[in-house]
């Protein structure tokens, strides 16, 4: 259902934008430029953190919950966060 | 007696025993920092800008228990890494001014995230008191936090409170006072970098030892270097001998992922604090915010809700604000100008003209828009305060992408429908400089109430029953031009890149009327101040140009200028009178009508008929098109200069709108001449 091609071949990690609403993952890596990375880290998107997707309509921005905070992020930004899907 | 928290009163006795305690208020956005600031200082606050920056600086003073305090509100930031001017300002203030105490406001309901700033504050050489705010909200959300445990874990004083209910504020101030006097133990437990980077951090700290500028702690500088902080990197490159810098730089390059290790270390530290202090975490229940957001952030319903809210704001503006504006214009400005003419009937004509037409007719007319602005300011402050603004930005993100912006630019642009000035000031919410600049350049293309007033007056005169259609067409045209200009500028100036969209969606909460009221008050005050200075001067200048050297409006310098520019006006079918009307709209958009009134020597009723008889529809349409897209009024230009802090961009903006409006006017005139030949 997503338009993203996961740039990482490992089958266990996938971009955050590929998680459906209600699914939870653990962040494994944050890519992207220094500045964007810094802003995501500051808002609590760090490797090891659990993240739940609250809204993802397959296009447009997403809403996720991370560290008890609701964060909206663009699809482009969300595709730079890699997660391991949790059951 | 001054134990009341809600009204920290100024003592009657002049207490001159010592200098006031300097307190810096730090906190992330949406933790209730402004509420606390307003509660403590009330109207004893001064709003300005940080030197050389377009970031708002709020400072206030108050007295409590006979002790006077100076309170500086640091910009709300998520961290203290130099990602934005706000973050830089906050940490530079602490390092340079060395306040006696930093009060770090954290939100008990989102403790994990809001402690991040505390993790950044503790390594700085200033004592920190943690204000554990929103205890009431946390309780409602089913979260239980133990302040004493948090205090023991952090090693710094923690005061539970609720700024919205005024709870815990006296205790906070007592703690601040004791901390400032050195009466409290202070042994903060600092966050550590992730273990795999400890060694490299030590290496850097050693290498830079002895070269760090005095006011900066060495270990802090080492950490910021590892984080890749641009400002600290620049500072140390200048401070270190070249070979030493090369050495440090090589280490840094080999660890360019250290940024993650530093942030992870802070969150690991936070995790320990939270695990200790939060005895009952959020239960799995679906809260109010989640329920509201099912609608408010839905791709379809979210837009419907946004459109309804904005429709309501418009409705309020036009049913309440516009009539008041009209009354002020007729009875306030009109009567006052008449009265001045009456009083000064014996004085020289230029004096009564200067006061009645220049000062009152110019700056006074701009001031009549205040009621409309107050409605807009109040609506925006309300939506911001309850937490809706972030949702509006979220649902508009997709559409804003089309013009190279993201969701956060939508609300400033929407403010432009009221007046372009607050739109440009409102662009401060946008965190990327590029997106902010683009928003500022596009804001004047939003048709403001003053422009709409001209259209509403002229369209019926020229087009009779088709007037509403023409008016709507002009609004759509402006927005179309805005979108097109946005796409082109984004590609031409910024290579089509977009700034990142990432923002917190705060919890919804009940409005705090004090915060809203103070925000409206301050914004109105700053608008009035502007009308009293820049706008006043330009009004007088334009008035002088339209009267001097004497011999009536037709012989004035302004008319000569209009005649000189007539060949350019002809391209759009405009004669010199319409050209002059356009030029005079630079003071205030609705001046166009007043100027035409002067040039045709007619009152408002007669003018409409006279204009319709004089100009063919193609000319009329072209004039309206240019009018709606033309260079913004002087107040807007002043705001652009202030917010971009650059004459280059201000001139660029004027030139851009000049080209766009003249081009659109010329095209309109030539197309319309073919389609609508002059009936006479």
Residues of A in contact with B505 (CB under 8 A): 63, 70-72
* Residues B60, B70: Cα–Cα separation, whole Å: 6
Q: Can you give the pLDDT at residue B4?
A: 41
Answer whether A12 touches B (CB < 8 Å).
no
Q: What is the DSSP letter of B184?
A: S
Residue B43 near residue B132 (C-beta atoms within 8 A): no
- Which of B78, B299, B406 lies nearest to residue A43, judging by beta carbons? B78
The CA-based diameter of chain B, rounded to the nearest angstrom, is 91
| E strand intervals along B479-619 | 502-504
* Residues B213, B200: Cα–Cα separation, whole Å: 21
* Residues B627, B451: Cα–Cα separation, whole Å: 7
All residues at 6 or more sequence positions from B238 whose CB lies less than 8 Å from its CB, including other chains? none
Q: Which two tokens stand for residue B483?
A: 């979108």
Q: Can you give the pLDDT at residue B211?
A: 94
- In three-state secondary structure terms, B23 is strand
Q: Can you give the pLDDT at residue B9?
A: 46
- In three-state secondary structure terms, B456 is helix
Q: Can you give the pLDDT at residue B605?
A: 62
Q: Which residues pair with B61 in a beta bridge?
A: B70
How close B311 gets to chain A, by Cα (Å)?
Answer: 24
Answer whether A73 touches B (CB < 8 Å).
yes
Instruction: Give the CA distances from residue B588 to residues A74, B167, B592, in Å, rounded to whole numbers and listed in that order.
Output: 39, 47, 8
Which stretches within B147-241 are classed as H helix? 147-154, 169-180, 198-208, 218-227, 230-239
How close B227 gets to chain A, by Cα (Å)?
Answer: 9
Report strand pairing: B128-133 vs B158-160: parallel
Q: Which two tokens stand for residue B576?
A: 């010199």
Residue B404 near residue B430 (C-beta atoms within 8 A): no
- Which of B228, B407, B502 lies nearest to residue A43, judging by beta carbons? B502
Residue corresponding to tokens 């166009």 = B592
Sign of CA dihedral B459, B463, B464, B465: negative
As a whole number, the mean pLDDT across chain B is: 86
- DSSP per-residue string spanning B467-512: HHHHHHHHHHHHHHHHHHHHHHHHHHHHTT-----EEE-PPP----
Segment B543-569 shows an average pLDDT of 80
Task: Write out pLDDT tens, residues B72-124.
Answer: 999 999 999 877 888 999 999 999 999 999 999 999 988 998 999 999 999 99
Q: Can you give the pLDDT at residue B5?
A: 43
- Which of A46, A68, A76 lies nearest to residue B110, judging by beta carbons? A68
B3 has pLDDT over 50: no
Residue B429 near residue B397 (C-beta atoms within 8 A): no
Give the CA radius of gyration of chain B: 29
* Residues A52, A19: Cα–Cα separation, whole Å: 9
Answer whether A21 touches B (CB < 8 Å).
no
CA proximity to A48, closest of A66, A72, A68, A23: A66
Q: Can you give the pLDDT at residue B405?
A: 85
* Residues B87, A38: Cα–Cα separation, whole Å: 12
* Residues B425, B419: Cα–Cα separation, whole Å: 11
Q: What is the DSSP letter of A46?
A: -
- DSSP per-residue string spanning B117-143: HHHHHTTSSS-EEEEEE-HHHHHHTT-
* Residues B328, B19: Cα–Cα separation, whole Å: 47
Task: Write out pLDDT tens, residues B618-666.
Answer: 999 999 999 999 998 888 998 899 888 899 999 999 999 999 999 999 9
| E strand intervals along B264-340 | 278-280
Residue B1: pLDDT band (50, 70, 90) is: very low
Q: What is the interface pTM, i.e. ipTM, of the complex?
A: 0.87
Give the CA radius of gyration of chain A: 11
Task: Write out pLDDT tens, residues B358-396.
Answer: 777 767 776 777 887 788 789 888 998 898 989 998 998
- pLDDT above 90 as % of chain B: 45
Segment B163-171 shows an average pLDDT of 93
Q: How many CA atoms lie within 13 A of A11 on its CB side?
A: 0
- pLDDT above 70 as % of chain B: 93
- In this structure, of B57-66, B125-134, B408-417, the range with the lowest mean pLDDT score is B408-417
- In three-state secondary structure terms, B91 is helix
Q: Which two tokens stand for residue B56?
A: 């708002």
CA proximity to B614, closest of B628, B596, B626: B596
CB contact under 8 A, A35 and B83: yes
* Residues B554, B489: Cα–Cα separation, whole Å: 40
Size of interface A-B (CB pairs under 8 A): 114
Q: Which residues of B477-509 are buried (b: 16+ CB within 10 A; e: fewer)?
A: bbeebbbebbeebbeeeeeeebbbbbbbbbbbb
* Residues B186, B208: Cα–Cα separation, whole Å: 28
Residue A42 CB: number of other CB atoms within 10 A? 24
B133 has pLDDT over 60: yes
CA proximity to A44, closest of A30, A32, A62, A31: A30
Task: Write out pLDDT tens, residues B238-254.
Answer: 999 999 999 999 999 99
- In this structure, of B19-33, B396-410, B544-558, the range with the lowest mean pLDDT score is B544-558
Residue B145 near residue B112 (C-beta atoms within 8 A): no
How close B422 gets to chain A, by Cα (Å)?
Answer: 26
Q: Is the peptide bond before B153 cis (omega within 30 degrees of 0)?
A: no
Report strand pairing: A81-85 vs B56-64: unpaired
Instruction: Give the CA distances from residue A7 to residues A27, A39, B565, B608, B618, in Å, rounded to whole numbers and listed in that order.
Output: 16, 22, 59, 65, 57
CB contact under 8 A, A70 and B505: yes
CB contact under 8 A, B227 and A37: no
B602 has pLDDT over 70: no
How close B505 gets to chain A, by Cα (Å)?
Answer: 5
Residue B524 near residue B374 (C-beta atoms within 8 A): yes
Backbone region of residue A53 per phi and psi (left: phi > 0; alpha: psi in -120 to 50; beta: other values) = beta
Segment A13-29 shows an average pLDDT of 95
* Residues A53, A46: Cα–Cα separation, whole Å: 15
Q: Select the more confidently predicted residue: B22 or A8.
A: B22
Q: Can you give the pLDDT at residue B677?
A: 62
Residue B616 near residue B511 (C-beta atoms within 8 A): no
Answer whether B498 touches A (CB < 8 Å).
yes
Burial (CB < 10 A; 0-12, 13-18, 19+), residue B235, is middle
Q: Which two tokens stand for residue B670?
A: 């030539």
Residue B533 CB: number of other CB atoms within 10 A? 12
Q: Select the more confidently predicted residue: B555 or B568.
A: B568
Answer whether A38 touches B (CB < 8 Å).
yes
Answer whether B29 touches A (CB < 8 Å).
no
Residues of A in contact with B398 (CB under 8 A): 59-61
Interface mutation vs chain A, best among B503, B506, B507, B508, most A CBs within 10 Å = B503
CA proximity to B131, closest of B162, B174, B86, B94: B162
- In this structure, of B196-200, B338-342, B439-443, B591-595, the range with the lowest mean pLDDT score is B591-595
């Amino acid at each position: 259902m997503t338009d993203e091609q996961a740039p990482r071949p490992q089958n266990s990690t996938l971009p955050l934008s590929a998680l459906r609403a209600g699914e939870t993952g653990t962040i494994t890596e944050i890519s992207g430029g220094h500045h964007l990375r810094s802003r995501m880290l500051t808002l609590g998107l760090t490797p090891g953190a659990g993240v739940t997707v609250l809204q993802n309509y397959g296009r447009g921005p997403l809403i996720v919950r991370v560290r008890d905070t609701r964060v909206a992020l663009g699809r482009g930004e969300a595709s730079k966060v890699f997660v391991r899907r949790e059951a | 007696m001054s134990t009341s928290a809600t009204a920290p009163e100024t003592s009657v006795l002049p207490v001159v025993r010592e200098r006031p305690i300097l307190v810096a208020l730090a906190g992330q956005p949406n933790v209730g920092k402004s509420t606390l600031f307003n509660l403590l200082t009330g109207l004893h606050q001064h709003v300005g800008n940080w030197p050389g920056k377009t970031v708002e600086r709020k400072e206030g003073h108050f007295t409590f228990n006979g002790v006077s305090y100076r309170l500086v509100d640091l910009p709300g930031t998520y961290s203290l890494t130099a990602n934005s001017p706000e973050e830089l300002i906050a940490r530079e203030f602490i390092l340079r001014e060395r306040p006696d105490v930093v009060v770090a406001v954290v939100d008990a309901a989102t403790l994990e995230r809001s402690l991040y700033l505390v993790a950044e504050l503790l390594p700085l050489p200033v004592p920190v008191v943690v204000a554990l705010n929103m205890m009431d909200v946390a309780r409602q959300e089913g979260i239980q936090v133990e302040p004493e445990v948090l205090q023991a874990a952090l090693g710094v004083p923690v005061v539970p409170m609720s700024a919205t209910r005024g709870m815990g504020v006296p205790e906070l101030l007592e703690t601040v006072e004791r901390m400032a006097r050195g009466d409290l133990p202070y042994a903060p437990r600092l966050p550590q970098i992730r273990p795999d980077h400890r060694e490299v951090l030590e290496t850097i700290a050693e290498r830079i030892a002895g070269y760090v500028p005095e006011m900066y702690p060495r270990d802090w500088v080492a950490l910021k270097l590892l984080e890749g902080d641009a400002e600290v990197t620049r500072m140390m490159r200048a401070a270190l001998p070249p070979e030493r810098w090369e050495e440090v730089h090589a280490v840094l390059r080999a660890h360019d992922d250290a940024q993650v290790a530093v942030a992870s270390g802070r969150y690991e530290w936070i995790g320990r604090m939270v695990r200790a202090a939060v005895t009952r975490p959020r239960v799995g229940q679906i809260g109010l915010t989640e329920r509201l957001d099912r609608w408010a952030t839905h791709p379809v319903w979210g837009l419907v809700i946004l459109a309804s809210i904005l429709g309501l704001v418009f409705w309020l503006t036009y049913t309440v604000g516009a009539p008041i504006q009209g009354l002020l214009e007729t009875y306030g400005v009109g009567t006052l100008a008449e009265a001045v003419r009456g009083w000064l009937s014996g004085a020289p004509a230029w004096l009564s003209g200067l006061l009645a037409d220049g000062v009152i007719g110019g700056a006074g007319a701009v001031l009549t828009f205040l009621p409309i602005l107050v409605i807009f300011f109040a609506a925006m402050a309300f939506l911001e305060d309850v937490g809706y603004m972030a949702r509006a930005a979220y649902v508009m993100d997709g559409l804003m992408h089309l013009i190279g912006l993201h969701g956060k630019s939508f609300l400033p642009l929407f403010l432009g429908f009221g007046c372009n000035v607050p739109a440009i000031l409102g662009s401060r919410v946008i965190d990327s400089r590029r997106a902010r600049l683009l928003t500022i350049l596009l804001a004047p293309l939003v048709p403001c109430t003053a422009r709409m007033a001209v259209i509403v007056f002229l369209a019926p005169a020229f087009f009779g029953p088709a007037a509403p259609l023409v008016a709507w067409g002009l609004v759509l045209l402006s927005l179309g031009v805005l979108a097109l200009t946005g796409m082109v500028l984004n590609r031409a100036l910024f290579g089509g890149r977009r700034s990142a969209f990432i923002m917190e969606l705060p919890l919804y909460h009940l409005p705090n009327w004090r915060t809203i009221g103070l925000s409206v008050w301050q914004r109105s005050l700053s608008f009035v101040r502007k009308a009293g200075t820049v706008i006043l001067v330009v009004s007088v200048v334009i008035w002088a140009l339209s009267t001097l050297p004497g011999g009536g409006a037709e012989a004035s310098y302004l008319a000569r200028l209009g005649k000189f520019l007539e060949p350019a006006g002809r391209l759009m079918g405009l004669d010199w009178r319409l050209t002059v009307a356009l030029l005079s709209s630079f003071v205030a958009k609705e001046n166009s009508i007043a100027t035409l009134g002067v040039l045709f020597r007619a009152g408002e009723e007669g003018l409409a008929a006279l204009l319709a008889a004089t100009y063919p529809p193609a000319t009329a349409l072209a004039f309206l098109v240019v009018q709606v897209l033309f260079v913004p009024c002087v107040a807007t230009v002043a705001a652009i200069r202030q917010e971009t802090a650059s004459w280059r961009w201000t001139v660029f903006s004027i030139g851009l709108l000049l080209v766009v409006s003249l081009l659109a006017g010329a095209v309109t005139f030539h197309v319309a001449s073919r389609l609508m030949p002059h009936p006479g």
